[in-house]
Copies of this chain bind each other. A is one copy, B any other.
Amino acid sequence: MTVRKKPGPGRPRSVASEEGHHHRDIAAAARTRLSGLTLSRVAARARASKSTIYRRWPTKEHLIVAAFNRWPVLIPHDSGDVLEDLMDLHAQSMRNLRRGELKGVMPKLVAARAEAPALAEVLDPLIERRYDPVRVILRRAIERGQLPRNTDVELGVHMIMDITASRLYFAPSDASGPAIRQVFRVVLKGLGARGY
């Protein structure tokens, strides 16, 4: 436990945890206006100082990762049909994307990650967690009998997430509802689902 036994002299860090109001403010400030993001600007907007930011996050990119983690998590609903559940997830993504200037953050993060292995260690678990809703949906499909008992869930999850991510962030592809539905249908069928 990192409990301070004795406060000692001097001003203590303002609620020294990531949940502290100050740090929350900073990450929030970073979340808006990702393009042309500058640490000085973030500091100014959060009424913090650059020292404070660098005391908490070793690089600008780490701060962006923190900001990225504030993205709302997708909620897996249960409509009784895999395809519809996946489409619902995609709709949630699209809604998140539209609001806020978070559009370009994923490419930026991925680029930073590519040449800073240290960043990968922080970023990858967060990304991995984003896969969970799809996991839930696919597992439910198995229980429901829409997918075979022995379906490789991880394979399916990654395929769906990879394609979705590509279409949303990276490639100049069609990310509209109908196009994505087609993709999901092929994946489900390839996984052995009946009726697609």
Report A's interface with B, CB cutoff 8 A.
35, 103-104, 107-108, 110-111, 113-115, 120, 124, 127-128, 152, 155-156, 158-159, 161-163, 165-167, 169-173, 182-183, 185-192
Contacts and interface: CB of A to CB of B under 8 A. Distances in A.
Nearest to A164: B162
- Name A's interface SS: helix
- Closest 8 A/B residue pairs (Cβ): A190-B190, A186-B190, A162-B166, A107-B111, A104-B114, A111-B111, A189-B190, A107-B114
Nearest to A162: B166
Given A127-B172, A159-B187, 17 more contacts: A104-B114, A107-B107, A107-B113, A108-B111, A110-B110, A110-B111, A111-B111, A127-B171, A155-B182, A162-B162, A162-B171, A165-B171, A170-B170, A186-B187, A188-B190, A189-B190, A190-B191
Nearest to A187: B190
A117 to B, nearest CB: 11
Contacts of A113: 107
